[in-house]
Structures are given as C-alpha cells and as structure tokens.
Amino acid sequence: MKSVLDALLKRFIYFGSLTVTYSDGTQRYYPGEKPGRKSAIRILSSAAERALALKPALAFGEEYMNGTVVPDGCSLEDVMWTLMPNIERGGLLSEDISGKLRYVSRVLRPLNSLKRSRTNVAHHYDLNGSLYELFLDKDRQYSCAYFEHDDMSLDDAQIAKKRHIAAKLKLDHAGLEVLDIGCGWGGMALTLARDYGVKVTGITLSVEQLQVARQRAKEEGLEGLVSFELLDYRTLNRQFDRIVSVGMFEHVGVRQYESFFNHIKRLLRPEGVAVIHSIGRMDGPGMTNPWITKYIFPGGYSPALSETLAALEQTGLWLTDCEVWRLHYAKTLAHWRVRFETNKDKVRALYDERFVRMFELYLLASELAFRIQGHMNFQLQITRDIEAVPLTRDYMFVAEQAQRAKDEA
C-alpha cells in the first residue's frame, strides 16, 4: 500500500510540504505548489500505511493514538498546520468518495433517541471529573469563551461569555424562571441565580456533571434558587420565562432541528426569551470527521446557519437576534491546549499515553478547525412574541455594561 499512499500524497499536498519516512525506511518529499507549513512524519508499520491509504480521515487519528504515525523532527502542531489546509482544499480521492457518502447518509442515520443521546453524552462528559479540572477555567465552562480584548485570561473570558448571554436573556427582574438545557457542571445556572436573582432549572444527561453541579449549588448556598436534574429536554412538561442552551445544540442531530425548536416553543412562555449558543460552520452543511465521531463526540455535528434557520422558520418562532463569533473558540482552545500540556503527566496518570495522544489531537484539530476550516460560533435569540424584546439591541449593551462593572468591582 506504500505506493498507493505515495500517489495519494503527491496529489494531496498543495500547501506547504510534507516529508514522509515509510515503514521500510524509504523517505519521500511532497512539496506543495503554494506556501505553507513544512513538516514531517514517520510511519512505523505497513498496516498504518494501508489504513492511511484507505481511510485517511479516520486512520490518521487512530495511528497517531497508537504511536504508529509520529511527527518526525517537528511538533504535532506543525504536522496539523500542514495537513488541515490541504484537507480543507480536498484532493484525496478515497476520502472524497467516503466523505460524500457520509454526507448523503446523514438522513439515514439513527435519530438521537433518549437512550442514544444519554449514551453519546456519557461517552465524553462522564470521563473522570479530574480531567476537566486540569484544563478548563475554574468554573468548568466547557464551551467557547468571549474575548472582549486579546489579552483576557481564560477565566475572565468565560465570565464575559456568561455576562454576554445573560444580557441577551433580558433578565430584567428577579424571580424569572430559567431553563438551562445541557447545563454542564452548573456554571451558567449558578451564575444566573447568584448574579441576577433568577430561579434556574438545569438539566443534563451526564451523571458526572449532575453530581458536581448539585454539590456546587449546595456549597454556594443556592439550592433555593437552582435545581439540577438528570433529564432530556424532550421529557419536560412545564414552561419557563427564559431558556438558555450553551454547547448542546451540536448534539441534537440534523434530522431533529425542527423538533428541537418546536420543543423550545412548547417550553417557553408566551412572553419568553431563549438564547441558543452553538458551534457552527460558515460554508454550508457538511459532515463530522469520522475520527471525531468515533472517539470524541458520537452523534455530534456542527450545523450551518442555513440548515438551522431553515428548521427554525418552520416553527413560527421569531429569530430576534443572531450573532456570529469568529476565532473566539480558537483562542479558547489555545488556552485549553496550554493547560492540558502543562498537566499532561497528571492526565497520563488518570488514563494512559494513548488517551493523552487522543485528547491532544482533539484539542489541536478543534482549534485549527476554527482557524482554517470555517468553524465559528453563533448565538440565536428566539421569542414566541414579536414584542417580547425591545426594538433595538441597546438594552443588551446597557445590561452587559452594568454587570461588567459589578464583576470588575
């Protein structure tokens, strides 16, 4: 298979250059036509060469995890900066074909049922809780931070994210009832209750996250304002004044977008406001990398605004505000990578070397998806009533500025 892989790489490398040392010691140099990063890899087995030739999008991650494909005289970051611009351009015939088949088959894949959704969530979010403490901010915000200026710390940028979302929720008086769909370890819910005096119900499908969130509410003395439940949003049968969901829409599934927004409509009171925060893509509908699907986020997909809004339009809900964040998640992931690298030995002690390789590749590939491959974040403000929010966005800026002054004080 070495000759097949050699032919594929000759066609594939267009930006930068890649040097490959094959398992038999043969070395090949693949120069691109356009400037880019230079890097080199060493392939340590003929089985890895075969896998890379047949299913490169899946095999590269697997072989890196196994230690049978390694950077050679450079860093993993150098290698990924070479590969990902070329992946974005296309050019591997085998991956072009399998990628098109994955895209077409999206509508044939099983729905994210209640059982499947819980299994998918457990795969990633029920990992050892100590892992996330090693690279997230102190509030455990496992989603995109909001960098109001370049030199913000990760902790300050995550505080800014919550403040920004709260302003869009229009929390203009205490006692409002808020639903937090996909509440994680409880940071958003606790912040809204503590800083705005609202009553929050946080729901999650992660047992690990539920336990931590409940303990945090108890420690902060917020049990009277915040409750956390192991629930799927589809099973709730009561309405709320506000709904917030951060980093959960990516797990809904393309076939269920309209159903999701209909549930938002059902759960939202007539004068209510909802804010949905999601990873997205700027270049239209696509597909999830098979390695990410298999090892990181089963059932996950970053939606395009076009397919998201097409579903929303069918529900009779108002889209009252839409904002796109460019590069904020790239900066967030860069912070996470530095922290992960600093604590790599602790991660290795929790799991093993293969897990360390998997997670560092995941963080790096995700960061470059935002820097190179058109990924971004979007926030949708949604209402049932045309008059649920003021005619201009000024109220958001006023509320955000007032809370920023409190936070800084």
pLDDT tens track for 279-324? 999 999 998 999 999 999 888 899 999 999 999 999 999 999 999 9
Angle at alpha carbon of residue 144, lines to 141 and 148, rounded to 5°: 105
Dmax (CA) for the chain in angstroms is 70
Sequence-ordered list of residues with C-beta below 8 angstroms from that of 211, at least 6 positions apart, any chain: none
User: For the segment 41-87, what is each residue's pLDDT rounded down to a tens digit?
Assistant: 999 999 999 999 999 999 999 999 999 999 999 999 999 999 999 99
| pLDDT reported for residue 131 | 93
Residue type at position 351? Y
Answer yes or no: is pLDDT of 94 > 50: no
Of 58, 61, 44, 48, nearest to 5 (Cα)? 48
- pLDDT band at residue 347 using 50, 70 and 90 as cut-offs: very high
What radius of gyration do the chain's Cα atoms show?
A: 22
* Structural domains of the chain sorted by starting position, each given as residue range(s) with its CATH number in brackets: 2-108 (3.30.1050), 114-408 (3.40.50.150)
What mean pLDDT comes out for the span 100-118?
55
- pLDDT band at residue 365 using 50, 70 and 90 as cut-offs: very high
DSSP 8-state code for residue 389: S
| pLDDT reported for residue 106 | 52
Provide the residue count of the chain.
409
| Interatomic CA distance for residues 189 and 201, integer angstroms | 7
Pair of tokens at residue 39: 């890097």
| pLDDT reported for residue 91 | 59
Answer yes or no: is pLDDT of 111 > 80: no
| pLDDT reported for residue 128 | 72
Which residue would you say has higher pLDDT here, 106 or 165?
165
Pair of tokens at residue 92: 């591997």
Beta strands in 249-383 (DSSP E): 268-281, 318-325, 375-383
**Its pTM surpasses 0.85:** yes
| pLDDT reported for residue 120 | 58
Place of tokens 């977008």: 257
| pLDDT reported for residue 282 | 95
| pLDDT reported for residue 409 | 86
Of 183, 172, 201, 199, nearest to 277 (Cα)? 183
The neighbour count for residue 219, using CB atoms within 10 Å, is 10
| pLDDT reported for residue 49 | 96
Element (H, E) at 78: helix 76-89
Pair of tokens at residue 224: 């009277």
Calculate the average pLDDT of the chain.
92
SS3 106: helix
DSSP 8-state code for residue 304: B
Sequence-ordered list of residues with C-beta below 8 angstroms from that of 293, at least 6 positions apart, any chain: 299, 300
Q: Are strands 375-383 and 268-281 parallel, antiparallel or unpaired?
A: antiparallel
